[in-house]
Amino acid sequence: MFGTKTISISRKLTLMNMLVSGTALVLACLAFIVFDVISFREARMRNLSTQAQVIASNTVSALLFDDSQSAHNTLSALQAAPNILSAEIFLPDDQLFASYSRDPSWQSQPPLALKQGQAESSWTENEQMLLVRKIEVDGKTIATVFIRSDMKDLHRRFLRYVLIAGIVLAASLLATLLLSSFVRRAVAQPIIDLSDVAKAVSKDKNYSVRATSTRGPTEVSILFDAFNEMLGQIQSNEIELRNARDTLEQHVIERTAELAAANKELEAFSYSVSHDLRAPLRGIDGFSQALIEDYGDRLDPTGIDYLKRVRSATQHMSHLIDDLLNLSQLTRTEMRREKVDLSALAQTIAEGLQREDPARSVEFVIARHLSIQGDAPLLRIVMVNLIGNAWKYSSAHAHSRIEFGTTQYQNRPAYFVRDDGAGFDPRYADRLFGAFQRLHATNEFPGTGIGLATVQRIILRHGGQVWAEGAIERGATFYFTL
């Protein structure tokens, strides 16, 4: 039904009962009235036919002896039938032989001629019922009788039935409304109680309550049992979830304590690396330099070359220690997200590189207005390493090109740094981001192999990913998303 979405189920049941009962009563009353009207019309037609037959029988002698007064007296007997408006007898030449009319001003009119072989005909016209019948003697038609009957009593009868049907319909609807209260208590009330329990459970999150079901294997009791079983399962799941949450919190506390202890150990290790390893390296480098300065005249060129190699190795080891410490500190620093202009950052780094080596011919192509949300100091390390690598690995070319821009990757922006330098073998692309992993010799391109590992760790902390594409002597492109 239209407009009943917000009506309660009890009112819907009441409306449904009243609608069904009312519809059934209306259809029954209509069928009864139609049947009565048809029966009344047929009875009236049979009554008129009988009266016409009686008139025909009683007026034969009057017609044969041309006694119109006797025929008129016979017709006047129809005064006892209040529904008869008029009755006339016409001779075969449509001449009026005798007549009777309840209305003195009535003007007699000959009826329609009967068809061949037809003895009687009836029809309705202007809310009147008309009948024509032949008067025959020895198979010869000597006259016709024409009767008009009023149908007002049929109309009065119809209105009376309609009134009675209306009274019965109103009484039935009232009785249905009263009975619906019992139906509502028997059917709708348990469902209303169930909805109240559901609202309470939804509002208070108290899954220990239960709905009181009715006895007996009815659909309502089955619904109550299923609802209570569902509440029991939810309550059991909630208890398990609460226990799992408590256990998880305890595990988190334990893991946090372990992580804190590991961080302390890492800090102690970093301190040890920074102090215990640097001191011997500084000693080796210092004594090597003292040997070169104080005893250089006593050493041959080979000995001096060995000492220089020792110093170079110790200095390289010192750089490795610095890079390793910086890499370990990346996971301990707190991230602070803010808007970072990568284009401006790339431009600043490019200008710094060109100032350090103005003799190089490098074309920088930097896309404008590329801004993201992230940790500014960490993203600066990313850009320094990527643009620095592009600068370093394109140094063997007389003229090189370094580009920073953006593209689309899996329906989100990806940023890239591209160069046309030495490139790399794509079969070993997965080794680029490992610590101390290098695809080129140190004498070709100096470095410690920590830079790209640092880049990957920073990108992962930002929830992104980093990858590389390249080919030997065809340059390299490093992509990252955040």
pLDDT tens, position by position, for the chain (482 residues)?
Answer: 445 555 666 667 677 777 777 788 788 888 888 887 888 888 888 898 999 899 989 998 888 888 989 989 998 888 888 889 899 999 988 899 999 998 878 787 888 778 877 889 888 888 888 999 999 888 888 999 999 998 887 778 778 878 888 888 788 778 777 776 666 666 666 766 777 777 777 777 776 777 676 555 566 677 777 777 787 788 788 788 888 888 888 888 888 777 767 666 666 666 666 666 666 767 787 777 877 887 778 778 888 887 778 877 776 666 666 656 665 665 566 778 899 999 999 999 999 999 988 999 999 999 999 999 998 888 988 999 899 889 988 888 889 999 999 999 988 999 999 999 888 888 877 778 766 556 555 556 665 567 788 888 889 888 899 999 988 888 999 999 98
Q: What pLDDT score does 262 carry?
A: 66
- Supply the angle between the helices 451-461 and 376-393 in degrees, to the nearest 10: 150
Is the C-alpha dihedral spanning 167, 171, 176, 178 positive or negative? Answer: positive
Q: What pLDDT score does 79 carry?
A: 87
Q: Radius of gyration of the chain from Cα atoms?
A: 57
**Amino acid sitting at position 459:** I
Instruction: Specify the 3-state DSSP secondary structure of 118.
Output: coil
Q: Where are the beta strands (DSSP E) in 159-247?
A: none
H helices present in 419-468, as ranges: 451-461
Q: Let me know: does 389 contact 418? Beta carbons within 8 Å.
A: no
Q: What pLDDT score does 340 carry?
A: 93
Return the closest-CA partner of residue 464 out of 374, 333, 336. 374
What is the token pair recorded at 421?
């330098």
DSSP state of 115: P
Cα separation of 156 and 297, whole Å?
Answer: 149
**Amino acid sitting at position 134:** K
Q: What pLDDT score does 373 carry?
A: 92
What is the token pair recorded at 397?
């070319």
DSSP state of 430: G
Q: Let me know: does 453 contact 327? Beta carbons within 8 Å.
A: yes
Is the C-alpha dihedral spanning 204, 208, 212, 215 positive or negative? Answer: positive
Q: Where are the beta strands (DSSP E) in 91-155?
A: 96-101, 120-125, 128-137, 140-150
Residue 448's φ and ψ, nearest 5 degrees, are: -105, -10
- Residue 99's CB is within 10 A of a number of other CB atoms, namely 18
The full set of domains in the chain, from first to last, is 9-159 (3.30.450.20), 334-480 (3.30.565.10)
Q: Which residues does 122 contact at the CB level (< 8 Å), separation at least 6?
A: 45, 48, 49, 129, 130, 131, 132
Cα separation of 213 and 480, whole Å?
Answer: 62
Cα separation of 449 and 470, whole Å?
Answer: 18
Q: What pLDDT score does 349 carry?
A: 92
Which strands make up the sheet holding 399-409, listed edge to edge? 361-366, 399-409, 412-419, 476-480, 466-470
β-partners of residue 86 are 101, 148
Residue 337's φ and ψ, nearest 5 degrees, are: -80, 135
Q: Which residues does 144 contact at the CB level (< 8 Å), separation at least 6?
A: 89, 90, 92, 111, 114, 132, 133, 134, 135
Q: Which residues does 37 contact at the CB level (< 8 Å), separation at least 6?
A: 154, 157, 158
Q: What pLDDT score does 457 carry?
A: 87
Cα separation of 431 and 438, whole Å?
Answer: 8
H helices present in 339-478, as ranges: 342-356, 376-393, 451-461
Q: pTM for the whole thing?
A: 0.43
